Amino acid sequence: MINRPHLPSIDQLLQNEQVQPMLEKFGHDLVVSALRQVVKGLRQSQRIASDQVIIEGTDVLLNQWSAPTLLPVINASGILLHTNLGRAPLSEKAFSAMQDMAVSYNNLEFDLDSGRRGSRALHAEQIITRLTGAESAYVVNNNAAAVLLVLSALANRKRVLVSRSQMVEIGGGFRVPDVMRQSGAKLVEIGTTNRLHLYDYENALQEAAGMVLCAHHSNFKIVGFTKEPALRDICTVAHAKDIPVFHDLGSGALLDTATFGLAHEPTVQESLQAGVDVLSFSGDKLMGGPQAGIIVGRKALLDKIKKHPLARALRPDKLCLAGVTATLLSYLTGKATHEIPIWQMISLPLDEIHQTALKWKQTLGQGEIIPGKSMVGGGSLPEESMPTTLFALHVSKPDRFMQSLRQQRIPIIARIEADQVLFDPRTVLPHQESYLLETLQKLLQSNA
């Protein structure tokens, strides 16, 4: 016969005064579940433990169960649109607008004039069309969804011409052609990997087609012996056959990046002016808003898109619409570079970055100030960088130091080069700077 260790009952443990705060914080059922799991583990291991040990183990387990996995972090990596870190941080105006909608009822699908059911599609459309010059607009939950919806609504079971060089795979093994095929469109690859000519379109359009798709090279470059026709010329060839052109722009640039010393990223307005019939782009890349896919273009085509059954499955919620509208309003009023974090970072003067890095060195009493590069990232402007000033720390074990940074209450993401831990002031948000310095001070003292 196996002798089981004597352990207190769950009812006894629940009466312990140290358990009362747990009950208030986590609720009766969750606390009971945690107590049972701890006691069961002790019984199975044939261990005798005091009430104190059981309660402490229960507290640890409850905190593990309730700890969120999605956390704010400090991005000191120098990658502005870090895909793994949530891409663009929101502006204060976008956050405020989303918060207002979150804590109250709203007219998401209610017509205040008639007192009857309305359409959520109207809320962002007016400001998008006014800003871009498009006839109509529609918002979905991300740009991949936008591509799927456009092709499903306009090109199902039809030939869609697309350049071989644009059949790309993006982060996480996610392949754009796979999304396209889900629409039922029949993809027809034209051209070669490195060279595409207008006659490739002209030859392919000798057969009936439903659409020409142009996908922007947002996260890679093809260099060397290359050729690709201008978007305006592609539109001219397609329209001669009465075939619509769909541009998957991706990056969502609404300002000219060349103004800030970067390579020119095609803007939404330029694509529409080139004659594109339908265009889609991301809300959380260079636009600097919440995750969204924004579709703009000719009203006749957008009407079909809005009526497609997938439109309901891919529709945005009230928070997305509020954030998108507030973000676009910053562009419409000419305040994007002052109000939207991604453009604040891009336009940040180098001297100001240098002064911040110098302040960090003076505050911590150690470190080195070195020149470096910030990257735009996020599937926008591949290989494009901006000069910056980096704050570099020499530590005995850089990898372990980086791990310690990631394990903080607010994790800190930096980078290692030449055995130095580097921090780029450009991507550290102002309200996070004091915590960053306090944490570095603590870690450096503990490693001294």
Which of the four pLDDT bands, split at 50, 70 and 90, describes residue 1? very low
Q: Based on the domain organization, do 53 and 134 belong to the same domain?
A: no
Q: Based on the domain organization, do 185 and 152 belong to the same domain?
A: yes
pLDDT exceeds 90 at position 258: yes
Q: Based on the domain organization, do 317 and 254 belong to the same domain?
A: yes
Judge whether 281 lies within some domain.
yes
Neighbours of 132 (CB within 10 A): 23
pLDDT exceeds 50 at position 416: yes
Judge whether 214 lies within some domain.
yes
Q: Based on the domain organization, do 209 and 316 belong to the same domain?
A: yes
Which of the four pLDDT bands, split at 50, 70 and 90, describes residue 2? very low
Print the domain residue range for 56: 10-66
**Per residue in 225-238, pLDDT tens?**
567 888 999 999 99
Percentage of the chain modeled with pLDDT above 70: 93
What residue spans of 117-208 are helical by DSSP H? 122-132, 143-155, 176-182, 198-204
pLDDT exceeds 60 at position 433: yes
Q: Report the amino acid identity of residue 356.
A: T
Q: What is the pTM of this model?
A: 0.90
As for how many domains the chain has, the answer is: 3
Tell which wins on pLDDT, 228 or 435. 435
> H or E segment at 138?
strand 136-140
Mean pLDDT of the chain: 91
φ/ψ of residue 444, rounded to 5: -65, -35
Per-residue model confidence (pLDDT) at position 198: 87
Which of these ranges, 63-72, 160-169, 182-191, 295-304, has the smallest mean pLDDT? 160-169
**Per residue in 39-55, pLDDT tens?**
999 988 888 788 999 99
Per-residue model confidence (pLDDT) at position 197: 83
Judge whether 397 lies within some domain.
yes
Judge whether 202 lies within some domain.
yes
Per-residue model confidence (pLDDT) at position 216: 79
Q: Based on the domain organization, do 351 and 257 belong to the same domain?
A: no
Judge whether 2 lies within some domain.
no
Taking residues 56-82, report their average pLDDT.
Answer: 95
Taking residues 337-345, report their average pLDDT.
Answer: 97
What one-character-per-residue DSSP string does 42-88 give?
HHHTT----HHHHHHHHHHHHHHHH--S----EE-SSEEE-GGGTSS
Least Cα distance to 212 among 193, 194, 233 occurs for: 233
Judge whether 5 lies within some domain.
no
Tell which wins on pLDDT, 1 or 120. 120
Q: Based on the domain organization, do 137 and 180 belong to the same domain?
A: yes
Taking residues 143-158, report their average pLDDT.
Answer: 94
Cβ atoms of 296 and 287 closer than 8 Å:
no
pLDDT exceeds 80 at position 101: yes
Q: Based on the domain organization, do 381 and 425 belong to the same domain?
A: yes
Taking residues 15-26, report their average pLDDT.
Answer: 95
Least Cα distance to 162 among 175, 145, 172 occurs for: 175
Judge whether 105 lies within some domain.
yes
**Per residue in 166-199, pLDDT tens?**
766 655 555 767 777 788 888 888 887 778 888 8
Task: Find the CATH number of the domain harbouring 356.
Answer: 3.90.1150.180
Per-residue model confidence (pLDDT) at position 15: 94
